[in-house]
Amino acid sequence: MTQTKNLIDEEGKRTDGRTIDDLREIKITVGVIRNADGSAFIEFGRNKIIAAVYGPREVHPKHMALPDRCVLKCRYHMSPFSTDTRKNPAPSRREVEISKVMRESLEPALILEDYPRATIDVFVEVLQADGGSRCAGIVAASVALADAGINMRDIVSACAAGKVDDRIVLDVNDTEDKEGSADMPVAYMPHLDQVTLLQLDGILTRDQFNESLDKAIMGCKKVYEIQKQALMQKYFGNETELKEEQ
């Protein structure tokens, strides 16, 4: 990452009008795919991502089954129309890497021992990309897993921090991702206070690293509340609204 222009103005506003500690607007809708066991649609800024969960179900081929735990499979895919230029529909090296990262981020939250010799399949389809799609995909996938009734230790939240104009900012957008000088995606289980994913693209000093991690975790905690609210809205509906009014 090599920054070529100023991305924060004199008033501390970023390219999309946010301050350095603001999240983009997040909307999550639960249960959007009727044929899936669990599903979620997320709008994370201008990212639009749908996640679907199928399982636990029988493993195919059977020799891949594990006798003491469930096999978790994740597939992250960007639609050809999701970016500014048409993307090749075949899985790219980046998509294969993010699929692996996503699986490793979600596994610590799932009680896979409860489903021996079974598999859980998670599909994440990016309909529109706007920077931070891996974090948004993890957020949607975690909500879809909860919607599917999978036994979980905690919900996994995700958010990125980054370095823009030598300042640490929360939730980098597409322009900041491409033009900024560092990007740190983090996945986190707030209830258990455990990080399940930490990646870094760019160079940070020790202090900047610590500040980025703290800021990303702060963002994860904010996302966590939105995830819980989305699940409560589906399963409790009007009851949730009445409690808020009281």
Mean pLDDT, residues 91-111 taken together? 95
Domain 26-240 belongs in CATH node 3.30.230.70: yes
Tokens of 111: 């009680």
The predicted structure's pLDDT at residue 9: 85
The predicted structure's pLDDT at residue 240: 45
Decide if pLDDT at 243 tops 60: no
Percentage of residues in the chain having pLDDT higher than 70: 94
DSSP string, 183-197: EEEEEEETTTTEEEE
The predicted structure's pLDDT at residue 96: 96
Tokens of 65: 């089954």
Q: Which residues pair with 119 in a beta bridge?
A: 57, 71
Cα 102 to chain centroid distance, Å, stands at 8
**pLDDT tens per residue across span 130-140:** 989 999 999 99
Q: pTM of the predicted model, to two decimals?
A: 0.91
Decide if pLDDT at 246 tops 50: no
What does DSSP assign to residue 21?
T
Mean pLDDT, residues 35-58 taken together? 97
Q: Domain residue spans in the chain? A: 26-240
Among residues 197, 240, 238, which one has the least CA distance to residue 220? 197
**pLDDT tens per residue across span 174-225:** 888 888 889 999 999 999 999 999 999 999 999 999 999 999 999 999 999 9
The predicted structure's pLDDT at residue 5: 60
The predicted structure's pLDDT at residue 242: 38
Decide if pLDDT at 86 tops 90: no
Among residues 26, 18, 36, which one has the least CA distance to residue 157? 26
**pLDDT tens per residue across span 156-188:** 999 999 999 889 999 999 888 888 889 999 999
Tokens of 155: 């919900």
Tell the burial category of 228 from Cβ atoms under 10 Å away from its Cβ (0-12, 13-18, 19+).
middle
What are the phi and psi torsion angles at 219 (to 5°)? -65, -40
The predicted structure's pLDDT at residue 238: 54
Tokens 């959007």 sit on residue? 32
